Amino acid sequence: MLAFLDRASLCAQAGVVMDTVSFASPHGIAVENTALRAIISDIHGNLEALETVLADIKSQGINEIYCLGDIVGYGPNPRECVDLVRKNCVVTLLGNHDQGALFDPEGFNAGAERAIFWTRQVLEGGAGADARWEFLGELPRIHKEPQRLFVHGSARNPLNEYVFPEDIYNQRKIERIFSLVEKDCFQGHTHIPGIFTEDLNFLTPEEVNFEYRLGTQKHLVNVGSVGQPRNGVPDSSYVILDGDKLTFRRVKYDVDKTANKIYAIPELDRFLGDRLKEGR
Ligand SMILES: [Fe+2]
């Protein structure tokens, strides 16, 4: 009961924090707009993927990492992933699955909902549980810098709106979202990396040979997913931002190890392991 009350009070505090729009680093660190940084998203409790991506980032001498949310949900290691993100990321946003673990999952399918209830149970136990809840409960939905916006979903609905590649055919939707973006918006949520241009194109990382200059036009950049890619490639995806130069990274990790952990947990559907192998 005590654990429940602790979490409930943290969530109540979080409600206040989460309804405010943050324009500063939640860690109080001043961030240079020209700084070299890595942007990761959608880890989904996949420890093998996160460790491999963090090692890839560090091997390039990059110390500033932003995380666009969904640290947990679906995957077998929510505690470890929260701890690693807390330790390594200078900016972290709230994702819809993080919110689902904190509160009640809304709009989740049956498998995702079972996974989130299991995730919540895991997060409620073990040493350091209170610190993890506090960290998750204080995550902002938006991070803003001059000419750059960072969200989990979209500029219009930072937590829940999907912007899929096929939305380029929904002119009204894309134009409305672009109207809310000063210059560039970095987002996740769909687990499909790529670049939306103002003239209604979607460019995959392959189409731009994994490098792109943001220049003077507006862009929406989806950084892809670390822990559950859905672009047909099982490798983890993230983005490096160096001034206005984007680099899309693909990193192979031990997919079988993560899938086998999922298969061993009855509350996690086998499909959640199978999909990792195909990147779907
Ligand atoms: Fe996600």
Structure tokens at 86: 């807390």
Res 105: pLDDT:
86
Residue 42 CA to ligand 1 center (angstroms) comes to 5
Mean pLDDT of the chain: 90
Q: Is residue 208 helix, strand or coil?
A: coil
User: Can you name the CATH fold of 2-18+25-278?
Assistant: Purple Acid Phosphatase; chain A, domain 2 (3.60.21)
72 CA distance to ligand 1 centroid (A)? 8
Spacing, Cα 98 to ligand 1 middle (Å)? 9
d(CA 179, CA 20): 21
Contact criterion met (CB below 8 Å) for 273 and 263: yes
Q: How far is the CA of 155 from the centre of ligand 1 (A)?
A: 16
**How far, in Å, CA of 255 to CA of 274, rounded?**
10
C-alpha of residue 1 to centroid of ligand 1, in Å: 30
Q: What per-residue confidence (pLDDT) applies to 35?
A: 83
Ligand 1 center–CA 9 separation, angstroms = 26
DSSP 8-state assignment for residue 166? G
Q: Is the pLDDT of residue 6 over 90?
A: no
User: How far, in Å, is the centroid of ligand 1 from the Cα of 279?
Assistant: 13
Per domain, the residue ranges of the chain are 2-18+25-278
If you measure from the C-alpha of residue 162 to the centroid of ligand 1, how many angstroms do you get, rounded to a whole number?
10
pLDDT of the residue at 13: 39
One-letter identity of residue 275: R
User: What's the pLDDT tens digit per position in 261-270?
Assistant: 999 999 999 9
Nearest to 90 by CA among 65, 71, 58: 65
Distance (angstroms) between ligand 1 centre and the Cα of 2 equals 30
> What is the CA(198)–ligand 1 centre distance, in A?
24
Q: Mean pLDDT over residues 242-254, rounded? A: 97
Q: Classify residue 22 by its DSSP letter.
A: P
- Residue 5 in this model has a pLDDT that exceeds 80: no
